[in-house]
Amino acid sequence: MTALVDRDYCLKHPLEISRLFGVGVWFSMLLKRRTSLLEQVVDSYAARAFPMPGYLGRAYRIAALIELRVARIYARMADKFKDHAAAREFFEELRQEEEHSRLMTLCLYTVKFRSSVIFIPQMRDPTIRGLLKSLRDIHRRVDAVTLDEALRITEELEQGEVNVIFDKMLKQNPDDESHFFETQMQAVEGHSESVPRRIRMLRHSGGMQ
């Protein structure tokens, strides 16, 4: 899976990375040859900072869990359709949700209580419980789905509550670190345009239309 911001980017932009995340993070990317800057930043926060406690902290943990479960669905789909090159590549790219999960974890360490924080999902919310159950069910039955069914599931995931929760949670945390990754994400993903288009192409190439 391609990292949201990789080691090559860090080597080309040492001042930007050092200003935002510290010289130690930049040196870690240089020396450890890690793929994902976001993974390194989250590890750095986990080693030296305290996560947001209480309801707000749990909300970002829930958001991270949701994104991780979606990433695992796409990973399983990529393996399921490994003999279909275009489909495998498509689902591998959608595993970028792993970086979404890491970004929610970063927010767990950087978010602050402010007036803009009004969306705080909780595990007891029926919508959240239903969403997590749905994601578990989808993951369990991936091996039995056809490519057309997998593409339909993808459409529902990309247009549904998962991305709504992610966007709302991210916008509530306008710190420089999260904003940097949000900007990078918008530059490389373009989900709202590219995913429907690529689904149409896959359906057309597979004779599904």
Per residue in 146-194, pLDDT (tens digit) is 999 999 999 999 888 898 999 999 999 988 999 999 888 877 655 556 7
Report the percentage of the chain scoring pLDDT > 90.
Answer: 68
pLDDT at position 159 is 86
pLDDT at position 106 is 95
Structural domain tally of the chain? Answer: 2
The DSSP string of the chain is ---SS-HHHHHH-HHHHHHHH-HHHHHHHHHH--S-HHHHHHHHHHHH-----HHHHHHHHHHHHHHHHHHHHHHHHHHHTTTSHHHHHHHHHHTTHHHHHHHHHHHHHH----TT------TTSHHHHHHHHHHHHHHHHGGG--HHHHHHHHHHHHHSHHHHHHHHHHHT---HHHHHHHHHHHHH--HHHHHHHHHHHHHHHTT--
pLDDT tens for each residue of 100-122? 999 999 999 999 988 888 999 99
Q: Are residues 102 and 185 in the same domain?
A: yes
pLDDT tens for each residue of 53-75? 999 999 999 999 999 999 999 99
Structure tokens at 28: 């870690």
Q: Are residues 42 and 144 in the same domain?
A: no
Q: Are residues 79 and 180 in the same domain?
A: yes
Q: Are residues 156 and 198 in the same domain?
A: yes
Domain that holds residue 77: 51-205
Q: Are residues 150 and 177 in the same domain?
A: yes
pLDDT at position 48 is 92
Tell whether the model's pLDDT for residue 207 goes beyond 60: no
Alpha-carbon distance 148 to 58, whole Å?
36
